């Protein structure tokens, strides 16, 4: 039995002792357009025969354009959906609340019927906006995570890199944090990914360069980042 689940990118797996811990919740945060959904799809499609079916919950993006965008990288979501490796759910944030709470015809049914073992929630931003105060947001997210833990799912939570989450302590509620950045390096911009924390894992420290290429996200662990500023 495996106890680590691949992120779908072998160089990223190497940064976290071979993969993220089975049953853990990892936050994938970064600025708009930095490649969060692409990375989440790499995770989702990684070896479903070994790591099991993945449920991808898209709160903001329309299914048709999402599938088309991922097809550009040769990531065929349609094919995976047809073969049952992937369950794709597009919801608005109000429906997400219902979906997570309902006993029947909600998430629980889908998990059981399809033997789902992994989930991507893309993203949590709209969900937290349903709650007014930081205290309410924290409680709602805590309740959500409690459920995910009971179901023993390996989870990727996508979030915009924003002060809002820091204020209610999202970084402390998750087991791991991957931060994606798109920062200035001289006159250029460079994309970097960093493991900020990964409970129970000896992880690589510091940022690693990645690029979004024709086949999706590619990491360059040996590349130096020069003259960078945020």
CB of 62 to ligand ATP, least distance (A): 12
Q: Which of Mg ion, ligand ATP, none has residue 33 at its interface (CB below 5 to 8 Å by kind)? A: ligand ATP
Comparing CB distances to ligand ATP, the nearer of 17 and 61 is 61
> Strand runs (DSSP E) across the chain, as ranges?
4-5, 20-21, 25-30, 53-58, 86-90, 116-122, 154-160, 176-185, 188-198, 207-213, 216-220, 228-229
For 43, the token pair is 């995770």
How many Cα atoms are found within 13 Å in the side-chain-facing hemisphere of 94? 0
Binding mask 69-98 for ligand ATP (x = CB under 6 A): ---x--------------------------
Instruction: Determine, following the binding rule CB under 6 A, whether residue 212 of this chain makes contact with ligand ATP.
Output: yes
- If binding is defined by CB under 6 A, does position 30 make contact with ligand ATP? yes
In the complex with Mg ion, the residue whose CB is nearer, 21 or 42, is: 42
Residue labelled with tokens 């200035």: 184
Instruction: Pick from 38, 53, 117, 201 the residue near ligand ATP by CB under 6 A.
Output: 38
Would you say 118 and 55 are in contact if contact means Cβ atoms under 8 Å apart?
A: yes
| Minimum CB distance to ligand ATP, residue 36 (Å) | 4
| Residues facing 20 on adjacent strands | 5
In the complex, what is the shortest distance from the CB of residue 32 to ligand ATP, in angstroms, rounded to a whole number? Answer: 4
- Select from 29-37, 97-105, 109-117, 144-152 the region that touches ligand ATP (CB under 6 A): 29-37
Give dist(CA 57, CA 67) in Å, integer. Answer: 13
Among 153, 141, 155, 173, smallest CA distance to 108 is for 153
**Where do contacts with ligand ATP occur on this chain (CB under 6 A)?**
30, 32-38, 72, 212, 214
């Amino acid at each position: 039995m495996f106890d680590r689940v691949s992120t779908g990118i072998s160089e990223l797996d190497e940064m976290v002792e071979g993969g993220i811990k089975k049953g853990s919740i990892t936050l994938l945060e970064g600025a708009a357009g930095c490649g969060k959904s692409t990375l989440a799809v790499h995770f989702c499609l990684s070896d479903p025969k070994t790591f099991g079916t993945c449920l991808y919950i898209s709160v903001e993006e329309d299914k048709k354009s999402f599938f088309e965008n991922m097809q550009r990288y040769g990531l065929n979501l349609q094919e995976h959906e047809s073969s049952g490796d992937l369950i794709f759910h597009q919801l608005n944030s109000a429906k997400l609340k219902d979906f997570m709470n309902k006993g029947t015809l909600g998430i629980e049914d889908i998990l059981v019927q399809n033997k789902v073992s992994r989930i991507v929630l893309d993203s949590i931003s709209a969900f937290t906006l349903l709650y007014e105060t930081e205290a309410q947001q924290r409680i709602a997210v805590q309740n959500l995570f409690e459920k995910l833990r009971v179901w023993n799912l390996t989870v990727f939570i996508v979030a915009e890199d924003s002060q809002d989450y820091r204020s209610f302590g999202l970084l402390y509620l998750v087991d791991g944090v991957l931060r994606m950045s798109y920062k200035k390096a001289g006159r250029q911009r460079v994309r970097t990914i960093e493991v900020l924390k990964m409970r129970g894992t000896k992880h690589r420290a510091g940022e690693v360069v990645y690029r979004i290429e024709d086949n999706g996200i590619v990491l360059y662990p040996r590349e130096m980042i020069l003259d960078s500023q945020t």
